[in-house]
Structure 1
């Protein structure tokens, strides 16, 4: 990955430079950019080389995580944290965020619900099953705690989606974009979604969107996260990558 030069304007290049990787958080800005048909430059971050910890990258994202964007059209302004990135892009491009004050607030509420609940809980469910357990640290109590809480949160989504096509309003919003890659990865988190008919219908609606599906192929596809392809081999490779 090249050094990040946040103050240099690159004539002829798109405003948005996106640093990301194929993870649930990493897909969020990709989905937005593809759905909004916004040109961007993609820089894939290689975790195996610890590129997210490189000094040049840490100047943009002090937390050393993905994703991060640099807005060349705003003097190289950098934004990190996936929810903040979606919020920034929505404001910049006037997409996926209602002008109605109450709907905007509801969208931000459901965005925070994903950031503070679904992401962390499902992430821990994945960690204890997909990384800790295969590497010799089996903790049934932790697994049950995070799987059960993930299921509860998905039940909240299911209730919200009763009689609705989208989490807020009549169109897709940044709340849907943020929540979808996490909820869609229920297989990887070991969460049963049977009986959650409204949630499953919402997932199917987004599954059918070509732009979203194109975004999920970048920087490289990970079908096993969604229960597709050779999931056992993918799980073994994933666990091996995290061996100390």
Structure 2
């Protein structure tokens, strides 16, 4: 099966909408690969921070993105041989990722790297432009949303559970600022693809959200 014919489920949406969790659960049920595209932007931001490169230095940031020494492993994410799985989930890195993701040359540098994840038996890709830019031919495109308050509370609980200090109001303000930046950027702004199905998970459990995505996917398959 050539890469172009491998099925893709694209799950897009704003920060902390639960894309990553849902993508991993769906991929696990199907036995498919998973792409956390946001991790690539977080890794780019982290690499720039470690090298004291300003996040608005377009050419330098794009150069970093094109040369990332990254390995994804079920036990962690490695940058230059170091496990940075926890580091890239810090709020400062997340905000940095939103900044570098607005840079056209950075998105171009990471585009083919993302498409290379499309391998048999299939791929579940989560991000902000999976259905609109990276995999426009995805068999199913889901735009996962939740209220800003619900997303801030989820992120707060995640950080507390991992032992990080967090302030709910600060998280809410940061999240709203990132939403605005992601939706207003010139390059690949955040919006649902024309053929995407919008799923509001504000009042849904993880299992309920996964079940809806799976039902939509099964509905896309040929009868019989």
* TM-based fold match above 0.5: no
Rg (Cα) greater in structure: 1
TM-score relative to the length of structure 2: 0.33
TM-score relative to the length of structure 1: 0.31
Higher relative contact order (CA 8 A, sep 6+): 2
